[in-house]
Amino acid sequence: MASLDAEPDGAAPTYQVRDLSRVYGDGPAAVHALRGVDIDVPEGELIVVLGASGSGKSTFLNIIGGLDRATAGTVRFRGQDLHDASDAALTRYRRDHVGFVFQFYNLMPSLTARENVALVTEIARNPMDPAEALELVGLGPRIDHFPAQLSGGEQQRVAIARAIAKRPDVMMCDEPTGALDSKTGVRVLEALQNVNRELGATTFLITHNVSVGWMADRVIEFADGAVRENRVNANPVPASELSW
C-alpha cells in the first residue's frame, strides 16, 4: 500500500482485526502472545482493555499502533492493511494518526514540558498549540518545567498532552495510571476522557483496574491471547466519579 492517509468513512470501523496472532520465538520455546483475535472498532469510541498480566493486551496494542508486526492475520486501519506497510509507512502512520501514552511517561529529559509537546507538533500536519494541549490536561502553569521538576502524574499528563497535541485519530494508552496513586490516576483518566470527547479520537486504554471499565464506550477483555469478552457500555460514567 502506498500510504495510510485514510480518512474516516462513516459507518466503516476504524480498525478491523481478523484472526490476528503473534508468536514470540519458535520451536518448543515459542510464546503465543495472541491467538486469533477478531475485533471491529468503530470511530471515536473509548475502549478499555482489561485482562490478566501476560494475556496479550500490550502485544495487541503495539501491533495496531504500528510498533510491532503480527505473525499472522490482518489489521485494517480505515480499510488499509498495516501488515503490508513498509517501515517508513508505519513511521508515517504513527506520526500522522496515533498518539501513545505509556506507563513510564517516556518524556525527553532534556526538553521542557512545552518542548516535549512541540517536538511532536513540529512534525504533525494539523497540530494544536502546545500550550493549548498542556492547558487541556491542566498543566498550563508548569509549561516551562523540565521533567525532573515534575511529579509522576504531571509527567504523565505531559505525555498525554504530547499524544493529543497532533489531534490524533487514535490514542494508545498502555497502563497510563499504572505508576500513579488513585487520586492522580483519576485526573489522568479525566484528561483522557476529555480528549476523547473533544477530539473524537478513538482511544484504547489498557488497565488492570476493572472499575475503569465504567467510563468506557466498550470493554474488551483479553485472556490467554484471545478476546474473552467484547461488550458495549451503554452509559459510560465520567472519570471523575471513579475511584479505587
Partner 1 sequence: MSARILGVLDRKVLRDLWRMRGQVIAIALVAAAGVSLQVSMGGLTVSLSETRAAYYERYRFADLWAPVVRAPLPLAMELRAIDGVASVETRITAPVLFELGGEGPPPSGFVHSLPQDGSQPAVNALHLAEGRLPAPGSSDEVVVLDSFASAHGLHPGDSLTLTLAGRRENVTISGVVLSPEWIYAIAPGQLAPDPALFGVIWMNEAGVAAATGMSGAFNEAVVRLMRGASEPAVRAALDQALAPYGAAGAYGRREQVSDAFVSAEIDQMRTMTRMMPPIFLIVAAFLVNIVVSRMVAVEREQIGLLRAFGYTPLQIAGHYLKFASVIALLGLAAGAALGAWLGDAMAGMLADYYHFPFLLFGLDPGGYALAGALALGAVMLGAAGAVRRASRLTPADAMRPPAPADYSRGLGARLIAFRQIDHQSRMVLRQLLRFPLRAGLTGAGLTASAALLVCAFYFADAVEVMVEEYFTLANRQDLSVHLADQRAMGALDALTARPGVMEIEPFRAEPVRLRFGHHEILTALTGVVDDPRLARLTGKRGETIAPVPGGLVLSRDLADRLGAGAGDTVLAALTRGARPELELQVIATPQTWVGSGAQMRLDDLNRALGEGDVINGAVLRMDAREAGALYAELKDAPAVAGMQFNAEARATFREIMDETMGTVIGAFILFACVIALGVAYNAVRVSMAERERELASLRVLGFSRGDVSYILLAEAALITLAALPVGLLAGAGLAWTLSLSMDSDVFRLPFMISPASYGYAGLILIMSVVLSGALVRRRIDRLDMVKVLKTRE
Ligand X SMILES: Nc1ncnc2c1ncn2[C@@H]1O[C@H](COP(=O)(O)OP(=O)(O)O)[C@@H](O)[C@H]1O
When the beta carbons of 136 and 173 are compared against Mg ion, the nearer one is 173
155 binds ligand X (CB under 6 A): no
94 binds partner 1 (CB under 8 A): yes
Q: Which residue intervals of the chain are DSSP H helices?
A: 57-64, 87-97, 113-121, 130-136, 152-164, 182-199
31 binds partner 1 (CB under 8 A): no
Out of 33, 136, 159, 172, the only residue in the binding site for ligand X (CB under 6 A) is 33
Separation of alpha carbons 160 and 163, rounded Å: 5
Residue span 36-75 as binding mask against ligand X, x where in contact by CB under 6 A, dash where not: ---------------x-xxxxxxx----------------
185 binds ligand X (CB under 6 A): no
98 binds partner 1 (CB under 8 A): yes
When the beta carbons of 35 and 145 are compared against ligand X, the nearer one is 35
Give the β-pairing of 98-101 and 202-206.
unpaired
User: Where does residue 83 rank: exposed (0-12), middle (13-18), buried (19+ CB within 10 A)?
Assistant: middle
When the beta carbons of 158 and 239 are compared against partner 1, the nearer one is 158
Residue 219: partners with Cβ closer than 8 Å, 6 or more residues away? 47, 48, 49, 50, 213, 229, 230, 231, 233
Q: Where are the beta strands (DSSP E) in the chain?
A: 15-24, 31-41, 46-51, 72-77, 80-81, 98-101, 170-174, 202-206, 218-223, 226-232
Q: Quote the least distance from Cβ 61 to ligand X, whole Å.
A: 8
Out of 16, 62, 80, 230, the only residue in the binding site for partner 1 (CB under 8 A) is 62
| Bridge partner list, 72 | 21
Residues lying near Mg ion in the complex (CB under 5 A): 58
27 binds partner 1 (CB under 8 A): no
Q: Which three cell numbers stand for residue 35?
A: 491467538
The number of beta carbons lying within 10 Å of the beta carbon of residue 28 is: 5
104 binds partner 1 (CB under 8 A): yes
Interface residues with partner 1 (CB under 8 A)? 58, 62, 67-68, 87-88, 91-96, 98, 100, 102, 104, 106-112, 114-115, 118-120, 122-123, 144-149, 162
